Amino acid sequence: MTSTDATPAIVPSFDSEVGPGRKLAIICSKGSLDMAYPGLILANAALGEGAEVHLFFTFWGFDMINKKTMGDLKFTMLGNTATHMPQGLGGLPGMTGMATSKLKKSIADLDVPEVPEFLEQIVASGGHLWACRMSADMNKLTMEDLYDEVEDIISASDFIEKTEGAQLLFI
Amino acid sequence: MPVTTLNGHEIHVSEEGFLTDPTEWDEGLASTLATQIGITLTDEHWNVIRFLRKDFEEVGETPTLRRVSTVGGIPIKTLFGLFPQKPAKKMAYVAGLPKPVGCV
């Protein structure tokens, strides 16, 4: 069917590098816009490489799956020396709003979706979303309050059990 | 760049096996490439491949999964069904295009 040449055809070995056996667990513990993206981008990339991916939202990371806040995460210059701006500026009224809309624009320019749409894409790619039991209890939140695609509210030990053998990222 | 021969087509490929010259591709070759990675092309696959070729021609870059879904109108879930495990790379390979470079 292929060639009669003696040299074998060069064909990518898609299934040998990262097989369906690779598993990645990502713990999202931050609720600011800039810290929400690393987990989402890595989850999406891992799914695209055929890995099984589980995200666990805990503490401030709950803001990423709370229907009330998930579309409105913010970015602040305060306490973030990587902006290379005088720290005092960050405390001025309106600065967080301005920094947030600037960051949102840069992200949108790269055609990277906003947090709710990104979660939708991750779920469509086969990713699993889990909410932390203790964070839900502390904030008196139930499944009703959370993004519809969150599979369940589970304890930390349930998550560890579900992700046995996985590589783990804490963000 | 290595040259490889597939089903009578002599093609230039990257070290991994992706075509480096999109003009060496034709629809007959697509079926051969698909067979190499265990995929039998259906009309649905062809929809994706034709979108990839058209978009590459217009933009000069292999579209990411997100772009195929938002611009091409083919849902991400469908893409994972058609090109299992690594859809972005597999569909680029069959379409004779470089791997997508975008992160999302």
CB contact under 8 A, A110 and B104: yes
Nearest residue to A135 via CA among A66, A68, A52, A37: A66
Band of pLDDT at residue A3, cut at 50, 70 and 90: very low
- Separation CA A3–CA B40 (nearest Å): 19
- Mutate which of A1, A13, A14, A107 to test chain B, going by most B C-beta atoms within 10 A? A14
- Separation CA B18–CA B74 (nearest Å): 23
- Catalytic: B9? no
Encode pLDDT of A55-74 as tens digits.
Answer: 999 999 999 999 999 999 99
Encode pLDDT of A79-134 as tens digits.
Answer: 889 989 888 888 899 999 999 999 999 999 988 999 999 999 999 999 999 999 99
In A, which residues are within 8 Å of B100 by CB distance?
Answer: none
In B, which residues are within 8 Å of A1 by CB distance?
Answer: 7, 32, 35
Encode pLDDT of A12-50 as tens digits.
Answer: 888 765 555 899 999 999 999 999 999 999 999 999 999
Interface check for A6 against chain B (CB to CB < 8 A): the answer is: no
Structure token pair of residue B11: 């093609």
Q: What is the pLDDT of residue A5?
A: 47
Runs of H (alpha helix) within chain A: 14-17, 33-48, 87-90, 95-109, 115-124, 133-138, 156-162
Structure token pair of residue A35: 């810290």
Interface check for A82 against chain B (CB to CB < 8 A): the answer is: no
- Interface pTM (ipTM) of the complex? 0.87
